[in-house]
Chain A
Amino acid sequence: DIQMTQSPSSLSASVGDRVTITCRASQNINTYLNWYQQTPGKAPQILIHDASMMQGGVPSRFSGSGSGTYFTLTISTLLPEDFATYYCQQCYSYPWTFGQGTKVEIK
Chain B
Amino acid sequence: QVQLVQSGAEVKKPGASVKVSCKASGDTFSGYYIHWVRQAPGQGPEWMGWINPNSGDTNYAQKFQGRVTMTRDTSISTAYIELSRLRSDDTAVYYCTTESSRSFDYWGQGTLVTVSS
Q: Chain A: residues with CB nearer than 8 A to chain B? A: 32, 34, 36, 43-46, 49-50, 55, 87, 89, 91, 94-101
Range, interface on chain B? 20 to 34
With A87-B45, A99-B44, A100-B43 known as contacts, the answer to whether A43 contacts B102 (CB < 8 A) is: no
Q: Chain B: residues with CB nearer than 8 A to chain A? A: 43-47, 59, 61-63, 95, 97, 101-105, 107-110
Q: Which residue of B lies closest to A47 (CB)?
A: B103
With A91-B102, A95-B62 known as contacts, the answer to whether A44 contacts B47 (CB < 8 A) is: no
Contact across chains for A34 and B44 when beta carbons are under 8 A apart: no
CB distance from A47 to the nearest CB of B (A): 10
Complex Cα spacing A12 to B83, Å = 38
Q: Label chain A's interface by main secondary structure.
A: loop
New A-B contacts (8) at CB < 8 Å, excluding given A43-B107, A89-B104, A98-B44: A43-B95, A43-B108, A46-B104, A50-B102, A50-B103, A89-B45, A91-B102, A99-B44
Give chain A residues whose Cβ lies under 8 Å from the Cβ of B103. 34, 46, 49-50, 55, 89, 91
Q: Which residue of B lies closest to A97 (CB)?
A: B47
